[in-house]
Amino acid sequence: MRRDPGRRVRVRGLVLLAVLMLLVLVGLAALVGAEVWATALQRERESELLFVGEQYRRAIESYWRASPNVKTLPTSLDQLLEDDRFPKPVRHLRRRYTDPMTGAPDWGLVKLGNGIAGVYSTSKDAPLKQSGFPPQYIEFERAGRYDQWRFVFKLPRPPGPPARPRTAQNDVLVNDARRNSPP
């Protein structure tokens, strides 16, 4: 019985084709896995940014509330680590955090006069998270970049005259005054 030499070549060709297809499938699976991993990593960094930003906001608030006499904001982030306005230095922040989105120790600063009222990431990347923020950060839902996520201590309003409660009678008086005023 004679063997067909062409058949051996055809079988080798099919094996080579099967190996190439297997390599393509493994490559595609690795690509999908890398994309899923990158997305998970970005979500983790976003979560860390929300935590760290809130730590800075709370530290700034603590610094302001602890101010003896006139309430002031810190002029540097280092003052949050060691507030030397007291006989025994006060720590409003445990440590200086790096920006999770950039990995850099530098933060963007929200200034109010000479003081620092808040911080933000300097990353220009688009966030994955678009909803489900805590109530104090609801404006993050409209942000298209991480540098628009501002962690700011909002100064309390100074006490003033109490606002008039809104009643139907007050609304009628206001509407009458508007109608009777000259254009």
DSSP, residue by residue, 68-111? SSS----SSTHHHH-BTTSSS-B-SSSSPPP-TTT--S--EEEE
Q: Is residue 27 part of a domain?
A: no
pLDDT, the chain, mean: 85
Specify the number of domains making up the chain: 1
**Given this model, what pLDDT does residue 53 score?**
97
| 8 within some domain | no
- Percent of the chain whose predicted confidence (pLDDT) is above 90: 57
Q: Please tell me the pTM assigned to this model.
A: 0.70
Identify the weakest region by mean pLDDT among 18-27, 62-71, 124-133, 174-183. 174-183
Average pLDDT over residues 91-118: 96
Inside any domain, residue 137: yes
pLDDT, residue 135, reads 92
In a domain, 108, yes or no: yes
Q: What is the pLDDT of residue 32?
A: 76
Angle at 45 between CA 77 and CA 41, to 5 degrees: 155
pLDDT tens for 1-56 read: 556 655 565 667 777 888 888 888 888 887 777 787 888 899 999 999 999 999 99
At residue 9, the pLDDT reads 58
Task: Give the model's pLDDT for residue 90.
Answer: 93
Q: CA-to-CA distance for 122 and 135, rounded, in angstroms? A: 23
Any domain includes 113? yes
| Residue 62 belongs to a domain | yes
Is position 129 within any domain?
Answer: yes
pLDDT band at 69 (very low <50, low <70, confident <90, very high): confident
Is 39 inside a domain boundary?
A: no
Per-residue model confidence as pLDDT tens digits over 77-93: 999 999 999 899 899 99
Both structure tokens of 156: 């309390």
Q: What is the pLDDT of residue 13?
A: 76
